[in-house]
Structure 1
């Protein structure tokens, strides 16, 4: 962000400077005490597991220039280092206010991306494609929440033409709030499905929550929507601007035909737009990734990009980690899709497991969180689906037992094991894996299955 003085930040956030140099300026905001550097402004967020006010003294010792807190911190007082302490009613509110103010100073245009699944992959494709013609910022990782998106906005530190920002939500009103901060002129809606159904209660509630991005777009904006999704089609009237639909099915403005899997190396297809057809390749496996890439194709075409520019952007896209990463070591193939899981994304990952060549297909599956009352049934359905895609099932977590039940209900006779924790699942994998196996690792983020991936990586090195 541009340099802001402590005095300016106090005015923007409605805070009170307890002490420190009012004219000291800051160009970076941090909420993680482990990553805060010299001269940064540390915002002390009160989280579910930790209160960052407890670490303000630590970040000061590291050379941090100041902190934004909700109350005075014991043992913290003025000193010769000029460290500034700003007291605000809410640190999350202060982060929102500062990012909203900064966004209004920026002359760039924002492309907002939301959906039940496919947000991060679509964001990565969009940022890569647009950057081949325009200076483009893509928010790092998945800074997409009521805390993450403000940090992504404040991280814009160059004269970009476009910023591609991912938006997530857990309840109605959150997408609207993120749009108030980021002010998108283009909205991309990737999917509406059962993710977070345990929080929102129904697909209809999820649809209304996701469609808030369409309502936020200006009349001269652009709504780019996955036309393969019936819920999106039903909500599309909420956009008062120009609408473009993309997808794999006929009837979309931008669609893919002649789709061919390249296994773990991605997919090739022909993009169709009006009377034009041009071949494209994505280097990320899975048909759903082709669908995600079509959003970038649609936006690129609307922005006047040539097929060659779009082609280069797709082929060179750098995807965020733990999303269908295919790794091969010493005869063992691991599909790392451990970042998150929903019924739809898990089915897509199992489809990929079936596609990739190997001796045995092993599905290592964990809980899909935030499914609420639908949880047990959803996990049993995944078990049934997995039985048609994999040779061996290894499930872990409280709801993993339901995956095994669904698998066994098919009568396939294929081996399935359930473990209460990922450590036991890991130990079992160490006993059964052999050269030539293809192993999918998939679970919600809260399950921490990246440790299983790390274990498999070590096995592959032996």
Structure 2
């Protein structure tokens, strides 16, 4: 990114308070703690604080200037450190950030692949990146840079020397994806499976579908929409697309599909990737057969960019394991730790428990599940946790530890469906789990740690790793 002060001011409809109109802005920051010398500081209004409070700190770290929605009389900055700095007055700094990103995207030559859905968005983004890197110069958004703040920051972080930028688009309400799509202008849209994740925010699955479909409507006629053929909403999604549709899935009528799916000793998938009359053997280096579907989505993107199956194979087999997502680690007391603590919903919870059960059978060891609440499920929360409790019993988990009001339902259901009291333990805090866990697990146990992000179960997983 390189914008002159004059050019930037015009784009964001701002007023120059200080600075040479010919000055060049090359990088921005919204966080004074991580700001680098020469960055242009954009103070945003957050839930807990106003970024304007940190203007002095940003300038002391040699920011070249800042954006502000406060006029000069209201600003509380030190005169001696703002001399010769760029200062631009705008009505709203968040809107200015978005307008800046829209302009940079408009003048950029690269294409954008945007991903949304309920399950596996970040994983799919990473796998798509690995695939497309086999043929193109590609970048993708950092983890969690998927909001009205993160998407603009990602766009403003890259120069026009890349060919494809891959973005994840988050959704916490209607019209948010439309807002993000107007900023990033995607050429290809990828939809992962839809379920009731975030239903607490949207009220119904139908509203979730409506919100997610905003991405499909944003794809231009000369673009491509990538849809999951196995999704119950596939027919609806394909009917509202204005672009070519390429579908993927495990069903026989999928354009991009997989067959002969097996798991190796560490539950890593092996399968044949199929497209038209061609197929190629794939060995994924990540744990869990749930990642086959994510890989098919990535393959569909590669095919849309006219990559051959061998290039796609190389990309799929080059994927790096994901931090806190089915991450297999050596643990204390020689346990095998499955760290899946990044997040949880009913689908991903069952997938993780299936892997736990598979490894138990393969290795002839005990299985231990440390589970926390699955959040944002609204009216489906109770039944979802009951179903996980029943699933735990069906999968013959040997020891169950839970923490959280919702996860307590998992424990109670497991007890009422056949697990004994010495197999089920409920805790009130992560610290209490850490105080007791080493007395409950046995050497060589296989231990799964999983909960929604807000439960901070990565703290428990970290405690169980060997380095601690």
TM-score by length of 2: 0.93
1:35 — aligned with what? 34
Which structure 2 residues correspond to residues 259-278 of structure 1 after superposition, within 5 A?
259-264=261-266, 266-278=268-280
> Is this contact kept in 1: 2:116–2:191, CA < 8 A?
yes
Task: Please state if 1:159 is matched with 2:179.
Answer: no
Q: Distance in 2 between matches of 1:339 and 1:210?
A: 22
Q: 1:149 to 1:319 in 2, by over 3 A?
A: farther
Q: 1:332 aligns with which of 330, 335, 355?
A: 335
Q: Deviations over 1:360-398 (max 9, x none)?
A: 221111122212222222222222222333221111123
CA drift of 1:213 comes to: 0.9
Q: Distance in 2 between matches of 1:49 and 1:320?
A: 30
1:85 — aligned with what? 87
Task: Please state if 1:347 is matched with 2:347.
Answer: no
What secondary structure does 2:174 align onto? coil
Task: Please state if 1:363 is matched with 2:344.
Answer: no
CA drift of 1:341 comes to: 1.4
Unaligned runs of 5+ in 2: none
Number of aligned residue pairs: give it. 459
Q: 1:320 to 1:81 in 2, by over 3 A?
A: farther
> Is this contact kept in 2: 1:96–1:181, CA < 8 A?
yes
1:4 — aligned with what? 3
1:171 — aligned with what? 173
Q: 2:394 aligns with which of 372, 388, 396?
A: 388
Q: 1:84 to 1:238 in 2, by over 3 A?
A: same
> Is this contact kept in 2: 1:263–1:355, CA < 8 A?
no
Q: 1:421 aligns with which of 426, 429, 448?
A: 429
CA drift of 1:435 comes to: 2.0
Q: Distance in 2 between matches of 1:157 and 1:322?
A: 30
Q: Deviations over 1:403-426 (max 9, x none)?
A: 212222322326122222222122
Q: Distance in 1 between matches of 2:418 and 2:8?
A: 64
> Is this contact kept in 2: 1:100–1:182, CA < 8 A?
yes
Deviating above 4 A after TM superposition, structure 1's stretches of 4 or more consecutive aligned residues are none
What secondary structure does 1:215 align onto? helix
Q: 1:319 to 1:104 in 2, by over 3 A?
A: farther
CA drift of 1:348 comes to: 1.4
1:455 — aligned with what? 463
Q: 1:308 aligns with which of 304, 307, 310?
A: 310
What secondary structure does 1:33 align onto? coil
Stretch of structure 1 that moved more, 428-437 or 214-223 = 428-437
2:221 — aligned with what? 219
2:442 — aligned with what? 434
TM-score by length of 1: 0.94
CA drift of 1:18 comes to: 3.2
> Is this contact kept in 2: 1:419–1:425, CA < 8 A?
yes
Q: Distance in 2 between matches of 1:430 and 1:57?
A: 48
Q: Over aligned residue pairs, what C-alpha RMSD do you find?
A: 1.9
1:242 — aligned with what? 244
What secondary structure does 1:112 align onto? strand
> Is this contact kept in 2: 1:141–1:320, CA < 8 A?
no
Q: Deviations over 1:143-168 (max 9, x none)?
A: 11111111111122251111111111
Q: 1:301 to 1:422 in 2, by over 3 A?
A: same
What secondary structure does 1:272 align onto? strand
Q: Deviations over 1:283-326 (max 9, x none)?
A: 11111111100011112122221222111111112354222211
Q: Deviations over 1:209-265 (max 9, x none)?
A: 111111111112111111111123332211121111111122111111111112436
> Is this contact kept in 2: 1:149–1:165, CA < 8 A?
yes
Q: 1:77 to 1:305 in 2, by over 3 A?
A: same
Unaligned runs of 5+ in 1: none
Q: Distance in 2 between matches of 1:135 and 1:283?
A: 23
Q: 1:161 to 1:365 in 2, by over 3 A?
A: same
Q: 2:142 aligns with which of 140, 161, 173?
A: 140
Q: Deviations over 1:5-51 (max 9, x none)?
A: 33332221122333345443222222222211111122212222333
